[in-house]
Amino acid sequence: MSGRVVFPNKLLPYLLLAPQLAITAVFFYWPASQALKQSMQREDPFGLQTTFVGLANFRRVLADPNYLNSVKVTAVFSLSTAFLALALALPLAVMAEKVVRGKGIYRTLLIWPYAVAPAIAGMLWLFLFNPAMGTFSYLLRANGVAWDPLLKDGQAMGLVVAAAAWKQISYNFLFFVAGLQAIPRSLIEAAAIDGASGPKRFWTIVFPLLAPTTFFLLVVNTVYAFFDTFGVIHAVTQGGPGKATETLVYKVYNDGFVNLQLGSSAAQSVILMGVVILLTAIQFRYVERKVHYG
Amino acid sequence: MKFRGIPAVIAAVAALSAASPALAVTEISWWHAMAGANNDVVEALAKEFNEGQSEYRVVPSYKGTYPETLNAGIAAFRAKQPPHIMQVFDVGTGVMMGAAGAVKPVAEVLAYGGETFDKSKYLSGITAYYSKPDGTMLSFPYNSSSPILYYNKDHFAAAGLDPEQPPKTWPEVFAAARQIKASGAANCGLTSTWLTWIGLENFSAWNNLQYGTEENGLASTDFELTFNSPLHVQHFQNFADLAKEEVFRYGGRTSEAKALLISGECSILTESSGGLGDVVNSGLNYGLGSLPYYPEAEGAPQNTIPGGASLWVFAGHEDADYKGVAEFFKFLSTVEIQSRLHQVSGYLPVTLEAYEATKASGFYEKNPGRETPILQMMGKAPTANSKGVRAVNLPQLRDIQNEEFERMLAGQQSAQQALDNAATRGNAALQEALGK
């Protein structure tokens, strides 16, 4: 640890921080405080009548079996999406590293899907697998698969997980490639000389040394699955069938913007905010320590 | 958390679009939910009105589905940037009625244009639905529809059914659908859009069954849902059984199933008469019939209840703007426009004169089936069960029903369980929405 760097000018550091602080204040603190305020109110959709109800909205939300169902759905969805996105990106990155000719082309092609917006990714998968018009739906049905994600919970969940993970593979791929390049060749060569086989070299050297990248991606992917997949779910299933794919974030939207229960919706966002703060804190405090940073 | 930003974004967009023209013409913004063939009609109407005079300019903007449009309008109102006119679907009526300070009753708006709203000129079933209990007309009926039966004539012929004789009752429909599937004429015999609006709300009215107490919520906002009667259960159990046999195919919660008829996947469809435009455009060899009923239901067929949407005017605009809105509404209610709207879109004419003019022109003789939705709605004087359905949270009630129907169609529960759950959960949600 070196000594603290001190700015000679007292005002300059604050000035340099100001834009970032302003953005955080406008886009985070202000809306968050509004959500906090609204979570303790009962209000009609148009905001004409407002009453303070204390913690009643929170009590109602936590006692709602649909909310608990949504917690379960979110856990299944987030874990599956993060796992699938990571498990597919890693072999792709390892393989792309081994390619000698045209490395750039392979990489570019694999990174491309990241440029697709979540809602578009959802639409793309919907067009392929929609039971009314999807190309693959016809193929599946023609081959005797009872494909109907509009009614079958598991298929609907599979579809949104696939769409959400597909989009994220590129991002993970990019970071894994960078992580792989940071692993010293000498370690792998030394192991090869010692007679370690390809898989053995991967599991004993490459995989552990990639742990910081994997950990970082795990956090990013979980946060992505929690919060950024609204577009995918809205486009593909809208939370259905029943409530089989209604994640916590989708429920916030549905209760607030479809059912117009603003108090309950705000209470859910506040809970969600608490969950994220807690999750991030735990991950960085405990999990990160165990990661081997080389 | 994330979505706290949406109203702000919408407001910003609204502010931009409101601020752009500094011309002498007064702009009237019209937010609507009409897609496909019906969107073309909206655009054509605005164009025609704008070209017919120079003082006002109506600017239509498509805001997504009906619920999305309603939410966009509410968000814009909260951000103090509401549009002038917003199209709100039938079930949003209860929501809008609860917002007395946010809307300007259409009767008041018309006064700005020196007009009075003469109810006797309009179809009574429609005006009653969009009025307050005291009779004040709140919104302007733009597109009213009634669910009817569509079928694929080629499939009927291929399956050995008479293509000129649509089935009239539900048992006949089920038999025809099974025959179509068994003969291989199509992969799916029957489908339906809007299981809530058609399968529950209109089914109740058409078979003279109670949907809820207090005239289905029209007499009082505090009422109880009673749509789990034996015949309701029987009807939905029939659908569940057909779904199991793969004769019935579920298309989605709103009008998605229309695509299943158009693509030739399914043969029989119950859908809003307003869906006609897309069916006509598809070039399908289609036939039309009345909404089926159960012969054992007492008094059936009774009458259907209006669906579709009406135009609401937001409060808080300039007087000059309201004058423009009044002019536009006057334009919309002319016989010529109403007749054309009805003839090209399949929506009902909202004025009696337009209906008479269409009848006199011989349109119905040339286009059999097109009078069906009007006859269904006006055929009989409504009973307490068939005036309409109104609830402050009808969109939410429908959501609950859809969830239960989906579980039923997936084979996870019986029709009895689905309807019992929908009623119990719906009643709880209604009481909560009423603030009890």
**Per-residue confidence (pLDDT) for residue A271, from 0 to 100:** 94
From B352's Cα to the closest Cα of chain A, the distance in A is 34
DSSP letter at B169 equals B
- A85 CB within 8 Å of a chain B CB: no
Where residue A286 falls among pLDDT bands split at 50, 70, 90? low
For residue B29, list its beta bridge partners.
B59
Where residue A290 falls among pLDDT bands split at 50, 70, 90? low
Which tokens sit at B161?
């059914």
Nearest CA to B331 out of B142, B156, B157 is that of: B142
| Structural domains of chain A ordered from first start | 46-290 (1.10.3720.10)
Residue A150 has its nearest CB partner, among B187, B250, B393, at B250
Beta-strand relationship, A50-52 and A41-43: antiparallel
Phi-psi sector, A59: left (phi>0), alpha (psi -120 to 50), beta: alpha
Contact list in A for residue B250 (CB cut-off 8 A) is 148, 150-151
Q: Is pLDDT of B8 > 60?
A: no
For residue B257, give the chain A residue with the closest CA: A132
Where residue B19 falls among pLDDT bands split at 50, 70, 90? very low
* B402–A240 CB contact, under 8 Å: yes
Beta-strand relationship, B26-32 and B56-62: parallel
Mean pLDDT of chain B: 89
Report the SS3 class of residue B376. Answer: helix
**Per-residue confidence (pLDDT) for residue A287, from 0 to 100:** 62
- A69 CB within 8 Å of a chain B CB: no
Where residue A131 falls among pLDDT bands split at 50, 70, 90? confident
| Per-residue model confidence as pLDDT tens digits over B87-122 | 999 888 888 888 888 999 998 999 988 888 888 888
Angle of helix A211-223 versus helix A262-282 axis, rounded to 10: 170
Residue B310 φ/ψ, nearest 5 degrees: -130, 165
**Per-residue confidence (pLDDT) for residue B165, from 0 to 100:** 94
- How far is residue B118's CA from residue B350's CA, in Å, rounded to a whole number? 12
Percent of chain A whose pLDDT exceeds 70: 96
From B11's Cα to the closest Cα of chain A, the distance in A is 14
Which tokens sit at B87?
């199209």
Mean pLDDT of chain A: 87
Q: Is pLDDT of B425 > 80?
A: yes
Question: Which residues touch B131 (CB under 8 Å, ≥6 apart)?
Answer: B137, B138
| Per-residue model confidence as pLDDT tens digits over A160-181 | 999 999 989 999 999 999 999 8
For residue A246, give the chain B residue with the closest CA: B403
Where residue A289 falls among pLDDT bands split at 50, 70, 90? low
From B59's Cα to the closest Cα of chain A, the distance in A is 24
Residue B403 has its nearest CB partner, among A31, A243, A260, at A243
| Per-residue model confidence as pLDDT tens digits over B44-103 | 999 999 999 999 999 999 999 888 899 899 989 988 999 999 999 988 888 888 888 899
H helices within chain A, ranges in order? 12-24, 30-38, 56-63, 65-98, 103-111, 118-129, 135-142, 153-181, 185-193, 198-201, 207-209, 211-223, 230-236, 248-253, 262-282, 288-290
Q: Is pLDDT of B178 > 90?
A: yes
- Tell me the HSE value of A52 on the side-chain side, using a 13 A CA sphere: 3
Q: Matching CATH topology for B2-145+306-361 and B147-304+378-433? A: yes
For residue B422, give the chain A residue with the closest CA: A242
Handedness of CA B277, B279, B285, B291 (dihedral sign): negative
Where residue B271 falls among pLDDT bands split at 50, 70, 90? very high
Of the candidate CATH numbers 3.40.50.300, 3.40.190.10, 3.30.1490.20, 3.40.50.10300, the domain formed by B2-145+306-361 belongs to 3.40.190.10
- The arithmetic mean of pLDDT across residues A180-209, rounded, is 90
**Per-residue confidence (pLDDT) for residue B4, from 0 to 100:** 46
- How far is residue B436's CA from residue B434's CA, in Å, rounded to a whole number? 6
Of the candidate CATH numbers 3.30.450.20, 3.40.190.10, 3.30.460.10, 3.30.565.10, the domain formed by B147-304+378-433 belongs to 3.40.190.10
| Per-residue model confidence as pLDDT tens digits over B313-367 | 999 899 999 999 999 999 998 899 998 888 888 788 888 889 999 999 999 998 8
- The arithmetic mean of pLDDT across residues B218-245, rounded, is 95
**Per-residue confidence (pLDDT) for residue B20, from 0 to 100:** 46
Cβ proximity of A212 and A292 under 8 Å:
yes
* A260–B3 CB contact, under 8 Å: no
| Per-residue model confidence as pLDDT tens digits over B134-173 | 778 899 988 888 999 999 999 999 999 999 999 999 999 9
Q: Give the ipTM.
A: 0.79
* A242–B403 CB contact, under 8 Å: yes
| Per-residue model confidence as pLDDT tens digits over B199-215 | 999 999 999 999 999 99
- The arithmetic mean of pLDDT across residues A147-162, rounded, is 90
From A66's Cα to the closest Cα of chain B, the distance in A is 11
